[in-house]
Chains A and B, each alone.
Chain A
Amino acid sequence: MLLLPKFDYYEPKELTEACRLLSETGSKAKIIAGGTDILVNMKKGLISPKVLVSLGRISRLSEVERMNKSITIGSHLIIAKLAEFDLIRKRFSILASAAKVLGSPLVRNRATIGGNIVTARPAADLPPVLMALGAKVKLKSRRSEREVALDDFFIGPGATVIKPDEILTRVIIPETPSYTGGHYIKLGHRKALEIAIVAVASKITLNKPDGVIKDAKIVLSAVAPKAVHAKSAEEVLIGEKPSAKLFEEAASLAMNDCKPITDIRGGVDYRQAMVEILTRRTLSFAWKEAKKGKKQ
Chain B
Amino acid sequence: MKQIIILTVNNKVYEIAVAPNRTLTQVLREDLNLTGTKEGCGIGDCGACAVIMDGRPVNSCLVLAVQANGSDITTIEGIAEREKLHPVQQAFVEHGAIQCGFCTSGMIISAKSLLDKKPKPSELEIREAISGNLCRCTGYQKIVEAIMDASQKMKK
Is A82 part of the contact surface with B, judged by Cβ < 8 Å? no
Is A191 part of the contact surface with B, judged by Cβ < 8 Å? yes
Which residue of A has the minimal Cβ distance to B1? A8
Interfacial chain B residues near A103, Cβ < 8 Å: 44, 132
CB < 8 Å: which of A1, A9, A36 contacts B39?
A1
Is A192 part of the contact surface with B, judged by Cβ < 8 Å? yes
Contact with B along A83-124 (1 / 0, CB 8 A): 000000000000000000001111101100000000000000
Interfacial chain A residues near B110, Cβ < 8 Å: 105-106
**Contact status A35-B22, CB under 8 Å:** no
**Contact status B64-A2, CB under 8 Å:** no
* A82 CB → nearest B CB, Å: 14
Query: Count of A residues near B, CB < 8 Å?
Result: 32
CB < 8 Å: which of B3, B44, B64 contacts A106?
B44
Is B32 part of the contact surface with A, judged by Cβ < 8 Å? no
CB < 8 Å: which of A4, A5, A109 contacts B23?
A4
* A29 CB → nearest B CB, Å: 13
Interfacial chain B residues near A110, Cβ < 8 Å: 58-59, 62-63
Query: Count of B residues near A, CB < 8 Å?
Result: 32
Interfacial chain A residues near B19, Cβ < 8 Å: 6
**Contact status A2-B43, CB under 8 Å:** yes
Rounded to whole angstroms, the CA-CA distance of A286 and B69 in the bound complex is: 44
Say whether, besides A2-B43, A7-B20, A8-B1, A193 and B62 are in contact (CB < 8 Å): no
Is B16 part of the contact surface with A, judged by Cβ < 8 Å? no
Rounded to whole angstroms, the CA-CA distance of A5 and B21 in the bound complex is: 7
Rounded to whole angstroms, the CA-CA distance of A171 and B39 in the bound complex is: 34
Is A268 part of the contact surface with B, judged by Cβ < 8 Å? no
Interfacial chain B residues near A40, Cβ < 8 Å: 43-44, 62
Q: Which residues of B contact A (CB under 8 A)?
A: 1, 3, 19-23, 26, 39, 42-45, 47, 50, 53, 56-59, 61-64, 66-67, 110, 128-129, 131-133
CB<8 Å pairs between A and B, sample of 29:
A1-B39, A1-B42, A2-B42, A4-B22, A4-B64, A6-B19, A6-B20, A7-B20, A9-B64, A9-B66, A32-B64, A32-B67, A40-B43, A52-B64, A103-B132, A105-B57, A105-B110, A105-B132, A106-B50, A106-B57, A106-B58, A106-B132, A107-B132, A109-B53, A110-B58, A110-B63, A191-B128, A193-B45, A193-B132
